[in-house]
């Protein structure tokens, strides 16, 4: 796959976020989406990560003054694993849904059963 500019990659991520149903995005509570070049050194193939407290584990008073949860997509592994722009666009969309699901307390096993693994 030809290298993509940062701007083009970010535009694909924005498009993927725009495709998430409004009913779900309205329920995203205190979450920011970020793109980083590479994942932590110990996990070079990580496509994305959810950092935060899932909604299913929050106490009622949790959100007052709390820093936002973070969903991070990793440009390097995503672009390296995909052969073309179409595949990258699909993989970004899947990764976005996967990480949003973690925010809602859905674990990897359940995601795999649902075909989002």
Residues near 47 by beta carbon (within 8 Å), at least 6 away in sequence:
73, 74, 77, 78, 81, 91, 95
Strands 48-51 and 69-74: antiparallel
Residue 65's pLDDT is 67
Residue range of the domain that includes 21: 6-113
18-43 per-position pLDDT tens digit = 999 888 888 887 899 999 999 999 99
Does 40 map to a domain? yes
Whole-angstrom distance, CA of residue 46 vs CA of residue 29: 24
The CATH number of the domain where 72 resides is what?
3.30.2010.20
Does 64 map to a domain? yes
Does the pTM surpass 0.85? The reply is yes
Does 78 map to a domain? yes
Does 1 map to a domain? no
Total number of domains constituting the chain? 1
Coil/strand/helix, residue 116: coil
Does 101 map to a domain? yes
54-102 per-position pLDDT tens digit = 888 877 655 566 788 999 999 999 999 999 999 999 999 999 999 999 9
């Amino acid at each position: 796959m030809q290298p993509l500019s940062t701007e083009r990659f970010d535009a694909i991520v924005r498009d993927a976020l725009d495709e998430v149903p409004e009913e779900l995005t309205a329920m995203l509570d205190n979450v920011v989406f970020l793109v980083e070049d590479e994942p932590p050194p110990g996990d070079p193939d990580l496509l994305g990560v959810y950092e935060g407290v899932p909604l299913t584990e929050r106490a009622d008073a949790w959100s007052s003054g709390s820093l936002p949860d973070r969903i991070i997509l990793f440009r390097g592994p995503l672009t390296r694993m995909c052969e073309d722009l179409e595949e990258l666009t699909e993989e970004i969309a899947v990764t976005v849904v996967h990480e949003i699901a973690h925010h809602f307390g859905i674990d990897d096993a359940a995601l795999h059963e649902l075909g989002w693994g």
